[in-house]
Amino acid sequence: MTQHKRILFAGDPHGNFRPLVTAVLKYKPEAVVLLGDYDLEFPLESYLKEIENLTEVWWIAGNHDFETPVKYHNLFNSAFSHRDLHLKVTEIAGLKIVGLSGVFLGRVWYPPQQPKWLGKQHYLLNQSANIPHFELSLKYKSAIWHDEFEALKDLKADILVSHEAPGSHRHGFRAIGELAAVMGVKHIFHGHLHENYSCVIKNNIKVCGVADTAVTDLLGNKLS
């Protein structure tokens, strides 16, 4: 195993985990990071039986993972539920990786606009004034919330993995690149947009978009 293949990144599987499994069997990385949008009909581990003892499986969630209760359950209550990277820094194969699941939603926060709600508590308190025992819907759970996003700025990391793209992509958000810069991140990997590309943004941060079912290494080389 070469150093830059010790962690692999998998773009939106949308139910097809074969390219990831094949890449793990071939390159035997220490860890893999899944970038969201799994469309799970069964628990996540059932797709990864061949590799679950060969590598560490880490993940963030994409918008599709909140589409139905089944998809949500099969990810968040899977055998890999403890490998959720969202909103924290985790040391993986010697690198500090921070995760950002979900997407920006107009009804919550759509930068550069001001947030509609400061955070989940703000939103829930407002709703429960009219509806007793109001709970956050899956749609709202899929949102990137402003207060949680801002809290990450107190942390440091080497790599940011997000479902949404930074401003390097025409459908991306500058807020993500700004977050990476404040955190001292050198490299962003993102999914969601089904496009393989690499580029460098402000503060010399390298961005790698990973296409659906594609797998890349730490240098952004496409492996499958």
Least distance between Zn ion and beta carbon 13 (Å): 11
Q: Are 193 and 129 in contact (CB under 8 A)?
A: no
Q: Are 185 and 202 in contact (CB under 8 A)?
A: no
62 lies in the binding site for Zn ion (CB under 5 A) = yes
Least distance between Zn ion and beta carbon 35 (Å): 9
Closest residue to Zn ion using C-beta atoms? 192
Nearer to Zn ion, 62 or 166 (CB): 62
User: Pick from 68, 74, 70, 30: which is nearest to 51 by CA?
Assistant: 30
Nearer to Zn ion, 11 or 29 (CB): 11
Can you tell me whether residue 208 is helix, strand or coil? strand
Least distance between Zn ion and beta carbon 91 (Å): 26
The amino acid present at 126, given as its one-letter code, is N
Nearer to Zn ion, 63 or 78 (CB): 63
86 lies in the binding site for Zn ion (CB under 5 A) = no
Quick count: other Cβ atoms within 10 Å of Cβ 203?
13
Least distance between Zn ion and beta carbon 37 (Å): 4
Within positions 30 to 59, which residues make up the interface with Zn ion, using CB under 5 A?
37
65 lies in the binding site for Zn ion (CB under 5 A) = no
Percentages of the chain per state (helix, strand, coil), in multiples of 5 = 30, 25, 50
User: Pick from 47, 33, 166: which is nearest to 96 by CA?
Assistant: 33
Within positions 155 to 214, which residues make up the interface with Zn ion, using CB under 5 A?
192
Which residue stretch of 63-71, 78-86, 128-136, 195-203 sits at the interface with Zn ion (rule: CB under 5 A)? 63-71
Nearer to Zn ion, 55 or 61 (CB): 61
**Phi then psi dihedrals of residue 20, to 5 deg:** -65, -45
Q: Which of residues 27, 39, 63, 212 is near Zn ion by CB under 5 A?
A: 63
Give bridge partners of residue 86 from the DSSP assignment. 99
Least distance between Zn ion and beta carbon 110 (Å): 15
Least distance between Zn ion and beta carbon 194 (Å): 8
Alpha helices in 87-173 (DSSP H): 120-128, 138-141, 146-151
Enumerate binding residues for Zn ion (CB under 5 A).
37, 62-63, 192
